[in-house]
Amino acid sequence: MSQLGFQRRRPVRWLTPRVLISTGIKSMLAGIFGSYADKRELQQSLPSPVHACGDDEVWFDFVADLGDGFDATYSVAFLLAAPHLEIDGHTLPRGQMLVMGGDEVYPAATYQAYEDHTKGPYRTALPSADDPPLLFALPGNHDWYDGLTSFLRTFAQQRAIGGWRTEQARSYFAVELPHRWWLFAVDTQFGEYIDTPQLEYFRAAAERLAGGDAVILCTPTPAWAYAPDDHRGYDVIQFFDREIIRPTGARIRVMLSGDSHHYARYSGSDERITCGGGGAYTSATHLLPEELDLPPQEARIPAPVETFSLEATYPSRTESAKLAAGIFRLPFTNPGLWGLTGVLQTILAVFLQFGLTVELDGAFGELATWAPTAFMVVLVAFAAFAFARLGPPRPGRALASVLHTVAHLALAALWAAVLLWMGGAAAVWMALLVTPMLIGFLDAELVALYLLVASRWDINTNEAFAGQGIEDYKSFLRMHITRTGELEIYPVKVPRICRSWRPNPGTPRLVPDEELTAELIEDVIRVSI
């Protein structure tokens, strides 16, 4: 891969301690200092054109959550770059525009990470093109972890990425499409608010809208799906619709987002599609609600409540529920976690042996004997409670934390009893040699068991799938505005990614060495103005 100008990267192992800690710190710092490092305010001085794509008709693509392991990212990029796709009896030409809908790199944004995880694979898939398609990118939370510095250097300086050409100068954009269709992509920075320069940009763009026009709204997160747990993101969408779109007489007909690494379509007065299958680990669909009543009762902007029905998911709900059991591979998919549990269990075993076998006189002696063990118990409990707090609030989360903590401590106590029974030098050697491997493995499997059980109540569901790092089940959207003005949406799935590639002297630079197929997730979705 170095001959292609980048390093082939493995998928992120999200439950290894290093990744958990570093990503957690970046997320915390971004949340604390995000408003101070917000580069959206500074973008006011940058050019602010309304872009255009297509004449009488246009084909364009949407992909999100793409910059992870090479095989998954490149499998999707290879299909997006193909001159055309033959899928279920449909001939789908390559898009004249590619919209990246957020989280273009994992685990955090740096210039080198973009080069290895995103630019390199896409440049290899389409090194050149006679009629270069446009490329626009919307930042997600992982793009925001460095305050957008690397994102703007990568996508907002009008530099080509292989055969794709970039035009945007800001982290948000508006594109005029044929037959009174528009695409507005809004940068909401962690779902908090829309900055003043961005509102001014879209107000200026909206002056070109007229009554009856149709808008495709792209947001970094599917706020409609998250609204039952956190209405703030949905408040932003409602505000944007009320202030920018509706005064013109236009209507939002489709909402697109990534962030959740699956495909899910809710249908009501408009279509709301999550399609985050561009390369990151596959996430669950079996716990998605069958219906969404929007806006939620807690919303700040009152509006009539409408029910949106879940029409299709990928993976299917049944398959997603089966995939959850794969979490028992956790010690092997995240060996760093196995190492951590081995170290913690070894320390606990040594401290417990010390407390049970060593006698020190007086209160201070007792304190010195059991203080190390007490410290480890508190540390394990704190880690279990902090882990259960990842994700949205759920009833029973505290109980799950307690049971999770008790399970780890019970394993340590049982192993300490075995060592105490053995006694002597054998116990010492068993504590130092067997604990890190065997007991550490069992402790990691306890984490897996906890994730499987807790995820049934939608507690730590994301971690139950992130821990598996499933690379298959990828997806993207190919869209077509026809000559009659109808929008056709082709939801494309890639059931199995390619993991073996061979060099190719032309375009693309690497081609599959095994079968790589694409199919439709559901029938073509047709939306009229």
Is residue 159 scored above 80 in pLDDT? yes
What does the alpha-carbon distance between residue 57 and residue 237 come to, in Å, rounded to a whole number? 28
Q: Cα(124)–Cα(128) distance, rounded to whole angstroms?
A: 9
More confident residue, 371 or 232: 232
238 SS3 class: helix
Please state the rounded mean pLDDT for residues 199-217: 95
Predicted confidence (pLDDT) at residue 100 exceeds the cutoff of 60: yes
Give the residue, 307 or 38, on which the prediction is more confident.
307
CA distance 174 to 54: 14
Q: What is the mean pLDDT of residues 511-524?
A: 95
460 backbone dihedrals φ, ψ, rounded to 5°: 55, 30
Q: What is the pLDDT of residue 48?
A: 72
For residue 209 the two structure tokens come to 């809208």
Q: Which amino acid is at 313?
A: T
Half-sphere exposure at residue 296, Cβ-oriented, CA atoms within 13 angstroms: 18
Q: Kindly tell me if the per-residue pLDDT of 36 is higher than 60.
A: no
The average confidence (pLDDT) of the chain is 88
What domains can you pick out in the chain, each with its CATH number? 2-12+59-323+472-527 (3.60.21.10), 335-465 (no CATH)
- Of the pLDDT bands very low, low, confident and very high (cuts 50, 70, 90), residue 82 is very high
User: Quick check: 216 and 181 in contact, CB under 8 A?
Assistant: yes
Quote the tokens at residue 320. Answer: 């997603």
Q: How far, in Å, CA of 90 to CA of 83, rounded?
A: 14
Confidence of residue 368 (pLDDT cuts 50, 70, 90): low
Tell me the pLDDT band of 89, cut-offs 50, 70 and 90: very high
pTM score over 0.85: yes
pLDDT at 2 over 80: no
pLDDT of residue 99: 98
Query: Is 70 exceeded by the pLDDT of residue 191?
Result: no
Q: Which residue has the tokens 């001085």?
A: 45
Cα-Cα end-to-end distance for the chain: 46
- Token look-up 């449909």 returns 90
The reported pLDDT for the residue numbered 120 is 94
The per-residue pLDDT for range 173-183, each reduced to its tens digit, is: 999 999 999 99
- CB 233 within 8 Å of CB 197: no
pLDDT at position 355? 66
Average pLDDT over residues 403-430: 80
Average pLDDT over residues 31-59: 69
> How far is CA 379 from its chain centroid?
29
In this prediction, residues 513-517 reach a mean pLDDT of 93
As a whole number of angstroms, the distance between CA 206 and CA 310 comes to 30
Note whether 245 and 215 are within 8 A (CB).
Answer: yes
Question: Is pLDDT at 46 greater than 70 in this prediction?
Answer: no
What letter would DSSP give residue 404? H
Task: With a cut of 60, say whether residue 366 has pLDDT above it.
Answer: no
481 forms bridges with which residues in the sheet? 58, 487
Among candidate residues 277, 274, 279, the one with its CA nearest the CA of residue 292: 274
* Rounded-to-integer distance, Cα 415 and Cα 171, Å: 54
Query: Which residues 6+ apart lie within 8 Å of 313 measured at CB?
Result: 262, 263, 264, 265, 285, 288, 320
Residue of 154, 164, 100, 90 lying closest to 127 (CA atoms)? 164
